[in-house]
Amino acid sequence: MSTPTISTVPPKPRRRWLRLFLLIVLLPAAAVWAFGFVRHILTHEETEDAYVTGTIHTISSRLPGVVEQILVAENTDVKAGQLLVKLDTRDLDLRCEQAQVAVQQAQAQVAEADAKLAEVIAQNELAKSGVDLAKANVVRDEAHVAKAGRDLARAQELKSAGTGGAISEASYDDAKSTNDTTVATLQATKATLEAAMAYIGTAKARETFAHAEIEAAKAALKVAQSSLRDAELQRSYTSITAPVAGRVSRKASEVGNRIQAGQALFALVEPDVWVQANFKETQLSGLKVGSPVDVEVDALPGRHFNAHIDSFSAASGAQFALLPPDNATGNFTKVVQRVPVKIVFDPESIKDVREQIRPGISVVVSIAVK
């Protein structure tokens, strides 16, 4: 049986230098990278569950109608108060005209009621004057009656004395006639006073009724004016304007479409954006409001942006879910919860790429805690 021969050929110099290179260069580099990686993990809190977000307004109509004009295009910037959409106003124009006519009629009724009240007040004043005059006439006629009574009494005494020629029969008849006339005149004057007093007694009721007519007319005027304001307000809703400055997106209507109240027509995105980072509850101990944050945006690879923590959510994301978990059911499995953290960009850091950082895009945030 032959003995196998062992090759003693020395290794090639090229392989030896390659091994030396790996040991001298790459191994220390790998060690440095590993040290930096471990150090970063131990001194930073990081999450990829983070997104750019912003304020998005849903532009809708307050009333149903037909779209007459759309004055903005998709993905265009608008200013606060800028007109976006106009609806057909013909029905509301007619309603405004009818309300205006109702207001004018109510104003005429108020004016008529005021005139009636003025007339009633004038009649009452005239009646008061008549009462005063009737009282004066009664006093006058009572004086006449007293004088006529005294004259008749003297004539009666002279006639009864029987002295011839002291008083004639004609003179006696005149005194008696005068007395009867003054008594009748006094009775008529008293009747006039009673009538005037009776009219005054009902004057207050007439004036109260006139005031009530005025109040009713004014109430009708207020109702008409309210209807007019409501019609004008409804007509103003046919002009849909931008509540804030921003960019119009997600256009969902065209000219001629019939829309319903509350139907979404546009989405208006405000220019200000921030990051919502969902950190695990075990990562929160080292986070504080104002802590600096390093942000990497997936849409801008290789760029790092400066930011800071603005605030923490009042509860975990699970509590705001449509069906929050009920851990009292007995089927409990502990799940690490995440808490939304609001992170605000430093304006100078993103000013050159502001248009590229849009709500909804993903980011990676890293926060130094040690």
Cα-Cα-Cα-Cα torsion 95, 96, 98, 99, nearest 10 degrees, comes to 120
Buried residues in 63-90 as b, exposed as e (16+ CB within 10 A): eebebeebebeeeeebeeeeebbbbebe
Q: Which of 314, 317, 315, 297 is nearest to 305 (CA)?
A: 297
- CA dist 33 and 36 (Å) reads 5
- For residue 361, what are the CA distances in angstroms to 76, 297, 332, 358, 367? 20, 8, 34, 6, 19
10-residue stretch averages of pLDDT, the chain, 370 residues long: 51 63 67 60 80 94 92 93 93 90 89 81 72 76 75 72 62 73 79 73 74 85 90 92 93 91 93 93 89 93 93 88 74 84 93 90 89
Can you give the residue ranges of every domain in the chain?
A: 45-88+246-368, 90-236
Taking 3-state DSSP, the helix, strand and coil percentages for the chain, each rounded to the nearest 5, stand at 50, 25, 25
CATH of domain 45-88+246-368: 2.40.30.170
**Would you state the pLDDT for residue 1?**
44
- Which DSSP string do the residues of 277-344 spell out, in sequence order? EEEEGGGGGG--TT-EEEEEETTSTT-EEEEEEEEE-SS-GGGGSSS---GGGS-------EEEEEEE
Q: Compute CA 284 distance to the chain's CA centroid, rounded to the nearest angstrom.
A: 40
**Would you state the pLDDT for residue 340?**
94
Q: Which of 302, 297, 309, 298 is nearest to 346 (CA)?
A: 309
Cα-Cα-Cα-Cα torsion 91, 93, 96, 101, nearest 10 degrees, comes to -100
CATH of domain 90-236: 1.10.287.620
**Would you state the pLDDT for residue 27?**
64
**Would you state the pLDDT for residue 37?**
56
Q: How many CB atoms lie within 10 A of CB 149?
A: 15
